[in-house]
A and B are shown apart, each in its own frame.
Chain A
């Protein structure tokens, strides 16, 4: 018996296994078939997101050769009685250097998502992969799939080649905003840069922590470069980001803005307000105080009950059974984050 009633909820972070070469071949043209075969492009797994290693995969959710969609239905969609779930493929497509290969892999992955997932369960929605390495192709891909409302956002990483606010990416945001697609930022690095501000670290736990700075850097960049000024409908959804680092970012950036704003006068409101309007975080994994009684206090600092979006992070091992949310979240917050906040954040879910 689940502790929370998730009936009708929308899950904002569900991972299908990232497709391998054999999965993608039907969606690649002859040239790219040739390339991925000759060049042995097969396991498109991120170093920062290795799927086959513990503790990512929950052992009782292992697919073991079966149909991963059926497993997802049985493990997640049915028992939690979810209304909708958004599929996020965090894949090597985000990291490939070849701008044309990355475009081809993004296209093929999106077509695979449509064919093998979206078309087979009407509860599924997805993040569109677009090659940030090739801005023109990214825009083309958005335009190619814009009519398919099941894609609700485009997906990128918390640590990228350049800070996400840079003007070079603006055509992507322009196309996304035009079609009501949001910007999903998933924890992960393509290791174009060292993951921490002091270079490469030694251990996994450090890597996990570095993503907090990664997310903060991306959000600061989107605000400072004026992306939300230029594209006011755009929202950035931090996925697998944790939550409690956000209030200190709001405090710090709003404070520094007072003295440094003349350099970025297009940042017209305190960054904390901009973050409350434009940034959302998914709920799993959740970095909250040990004592559930402290949880409301931690969340109060956001000064908004609209920022949290429910997610299970399936099939990652963040919880046992169906205890998909941590204890201590106030009922009123819970009531909003399971569904209403998500519908408000993603216009394409509405219709």
Chain B
């Protein structure tokens, strides 16, 4: 491969930007919140105190995944015998029921081709945030509170 080709193939580098998107107490366990970051609709879910974020738009026909039910993984090797695991780690699209893994954004039925982007979310103390470099338009950061910071 020539170096010119390598340059074409390399993705354009983009600085990761970090966005304060919610106060942690805004999303109760098992619930979700829709946020808008740089024009992208992102659904953030509270999974047993862990915050997982995926693109909000279902790749099937565009339903809001933030409005889907948060569900366990349902599996079976034998007809009639079912096992549940990973409680709350999947979201079921409200329109036609496709399931998406909140950790990866992959759909359960067609993981390689049907998927949504997933994003990193961290919990940060307000005290750490006031020092930046974070972007926030919505929040007045209070040093005592905890916030969700999404990396784009």
Contacts and interface: CB of A to CB of B under 8 A. Distances in A.
A34 to B, nearest CB: 43
A260 B95 CA distance: 12
B37 to A, nearest CB: 28
Question: Which bracket fits the contact residues of A?
Answer: 10 to 19
B77 interface: yes
Interface string A244-262: 0000000000000111111
Interface string B52-93: 000000000000000000010011111111100000000001
A258 B97 contact: yes
B79 to A, nearest CB: 3
A270 B110 CA distance: 9
A261 B109 contact: yes
B96 interface: yes
B79 A226 contact: yes
B78 A229 contact: yes
Contacts of A260: 97
Contacts of A167: 79
B74 A230 contact: no
Contacts of B75: 265, 268
B98 interface: yes
A259 B78 contact: no
A230 B80 CA distance: 11
B107 interface: yes
A177 to B, nearest CB: 15
Given A257-B109, A258-B109, A258-B110, A266 B76 contact: yes
A225 interface: yes
Interface in B96-148: 96-99, 107-110
A222 to B, nearest CB: 11
B91 to A, nearest CB: 13
A265 B82 contact: yes
A226 to B, nearest CB: 3
Given A259-B96, A260-B97, A262-B74, A230 B107 contact: no
16 contacts: A226-B78, A226-B80, A229-B77, A229-B78, A258-B96, A259-B93, A259-B96, A259-B98, A262-B71, A262-B74, A262-B99, A265-B74, A265-B75, A266-B78, A266-B80, A268-B75
Given A259-B98, A265-B82, 18 more contacts: A167-B79, A226-B79, A230-B78, A258-B97, A258-B98, A258-B107, A259-B93, A259-B96, A259-B97, A261-B108, A262-B71, A262-B99, A265-B74, A266-B79, A266-B80, A266-B81, A268-B75, A270-B110
